[in-house]
Amino acid sequence: MNGDTRLDTQHLARASDAAALREVRAIERRRMDATNCGGVTTLEAIFGGTLVHVHADDKTDGKAALMERYGEGCMKLDQPEFSAKASSDIAVIHEPQHATVRGAADIIMIGLTLYVTQTLAQLVGSWRYAFFHACSPK
């Protein structure tokens, strides 16, 4: 050792980022599971209060409107692999996602593949979804 007592902050950041990435991957799986079974309580807990959801048709919903839609159990998602990048306090998830949206009496209204980008923030010790944008492939 050469007497250098500086912390290896790059190594510490990588370790922190890896832990954050594991947490973000777990919360995304929880979101998909909750979406598929109408788990509004779970979604309520992991969606931030100022969540903005931009739909593929550019319509936007805030948290309250989105929770109402999820409460109707109108959406089922495939659970593909996804890419995610995370630091200790912010994360971005990008994934292709196949969604089946159901209408009244379980009639399939539309099945579509979307590319979804989501941003999560670490707030008061837990991850919350802050932004969700879905767009159709072109």
Residue 92 within a domain = yes
Residue 3 within a domain = no
Residue 2 within a domain = no
Residue 1 within a domain = no
Residue 55 within a domain = yes
Question: Can you give the pLDDT at residue 134?
Answer: 80
Range of the domain at 115: 9-135
Question: Can you give the pLDDT at residue 109?
Answer: 55
Q: How many domains, in total, are found in the chain?
A: 1
Distance from C-alpha of 21 to C-alpha of 17, rounded to nearest angstrom: 6
Residues across the chain? 138
Residue 118 within a domain = yes
- pLDDT above 80 (res 120): yes
**Tokens coding 4:** 């250098």
Give the pLDDT confidence of 85-109 residue by residue, as tens digits: 888 788 888 877 776 666 545 555 5
Residue 4 within a domain = no
Instruction: Return the higher-pLDDT residue of 93 and 79.
Output: 93
Element (H, E) at 54: strand 47-54
Residue 32 within a domain = yes
Domain CATH code at residue 106: 3.10.450.50
**Environment class of residue 27 by beta-carbon count within 10 Å: exposed (0-12), middle (13-18) or buried (19+)?**
buried
Does the global pTM surpass 0.75?
A: no
Question: Can you give the pLDDT at residue 90?
Answer: 86
